[in-house]
Amino acid sequence: MEMKKLLLMLAAVPLYPQAQETARDWAALIGNRYTLRRDIVYKKVDGFEAKLDVYMPLNDPRPRTTMLYIHGGGWSTGSKEQYLLFFLPYIQMGMKVVSVGYRLARVAPAPAAVEDARCAFRWLYQNAGKFGFDKNRIVVSGGSAGGHLALLTAMMDASAGFDSSCPKGEPMKAAAIINYYGPVDLVELYRKGEGAAFKWLGGEGKLELARRLSPISYVRPGLPPVLTIQGDADETVPYAPTVRFHEALSRAGVPNRLVTIPGGRHGRHNWPEPEMMKAHRAIEEFLSEHKLLPTN
């Protein structure tokens, strides 16, 4: 869908009264102020072309806070285009956004999606000068399976062993992670013997891989700040491991915050509008606290 057509649709969506005029003004302007570079190939593997899209201000090459956004869909569905509306608020904040596609389960099982996400992060680093990405202000985000991949992308380093298909380069470090209800402990999900995680991991005999692909396995001092937003009635991604994950981050001295949606089920479409607004205010506060909101 073209950006201008999408923005015309957005202008017709009912908004809270106090935000309606500002949002409409922004929607009227952004089509002429932002540009989209689609389907940039960042990796080729086994005949598959992994692609990403870049949303950025038009004719403004200055380095900006950049979000690396990874879509969800149980590692088996979804696309980099499908979730534009999810990261549109970050574009409104003035960020550049890199939306990543990756090998889904039907193309390749785990850990292919993790390897691709790490390579997309490497691509961002390598092309920072060309596109005006500020390497010191990279926010990695995603929802559900994308949240899981975002956590791993920002928490892992080369020693984890998933960077072999990426070009070599300087160590990569995110400035922050925003995780929408991504699973943090795949071991617990894997032991159920069914479900999206079990299938993506490849079925029986993959317990150790499940551990290696669990964000909770990589908690240590020095990680970037982590913000997680999740409902405490999530029927797909267990809430209790998320609590344990944030407790572990606190013990390790990692700045973090868990925003709980009371009674919230899996997926933002299931949350009441006031809770959605609360979550977005928490994100703005989090980004401001860590000096990641664009100032120009």
In this predicted structure, the answer to whether residue 17 has a pLDDT above a threshold of 50 is: no
Instruction: Please give the pLDDT value at position 83.
Output: 84
Instruction: Please give the pLDDT value at position 112.
Output: 98
| DSSP label of 212 | H
Q: Band the pLDDT of 85: cuts 50, 70, 90.
A: confident
Q: Band the pLDDT of 24: cuts 50, 70, 90.
A: low
In this predicted structure, the answer to whether residue 268 has a pLDDT above a threshold of 90 is: no
Once rounded to an integer, what is the mean pLDDT over residues 114-122?
98
From 29-38, 158-167, 202-211, 257-266, the region with the lowest mean pLDDT: 29-38
* Mean pLDDT, all residues of the chain: 90
Cα 263 from chain centroid?
23
From 4-8, 80-84, 86-90, 274-278, the region with the lowest mean pLDDT: 4-8
Instruction: Please give the pLDDT value at position 274.
Output: 92
Task: Note whether 181 and 91 are within 8 A (CB).
Answer: no
Instruction: Please give the pLDDT value at position 88.
Output: 83
Q: With 0-12 CB in 10 A as exposed, 13-18 as middle and 19+ as buried, what is 32?
A: exposed
Q: Band the pLDDT of 26: cuts 50, 70, 90.
A: low
What topology is assigned to 34-289 in CATH? Rossmann fold (3.40.50)
Share of the chain above pLDDT 90, in %: 79
In this predicted structure, the answer to whether residue 153 has a pLDDT above a threshold of 70 is: yes
Q: Which residues contact 54 (CB under 8 A, 6 or more apart)?
A: 36, 37, 40, 96, 97, 98, 99, 131
Instruction: Please give the pLDDT value at position 31.
Output: 61
In this predicted structure, the answer to whether residue 19 has a pLDDT above a threshold of 50 is: no
Give dist(CA 122, CA 98) in Å, integer: 12
- How does pLDDT run across 236-256, given as a tens digit for each residue? 999 999 999 999 999 999 999
Instruction: Please give the pLDDT value at position 58.
Output: 85
Instruction: Please give the pLDDT value at position 46.
Output: 94
Q: Count CA within 13 A, CB hemisphere, residue 110.
A: 27
What are 205's two structure tokens?
Answer: 């005999």
- How does pLDDT run across 51-64, given as a tens digit for each residue? 999 999 888 788 99
Domain boundaries, the chain: 34-289
**Higher pLDDT pick, 9 / 191:** 191
Order of strands, edge to edge, in the sheet holding 64-70?
A: 34-45, 48-57, 96-100, 64-70, 133-143, 176-180, 226-231, 256-261
Instruction: Please give the pLDDT value at position 94.
Output: 87
Instruction: Please give the pLDDT value at position 168.
Output: 94
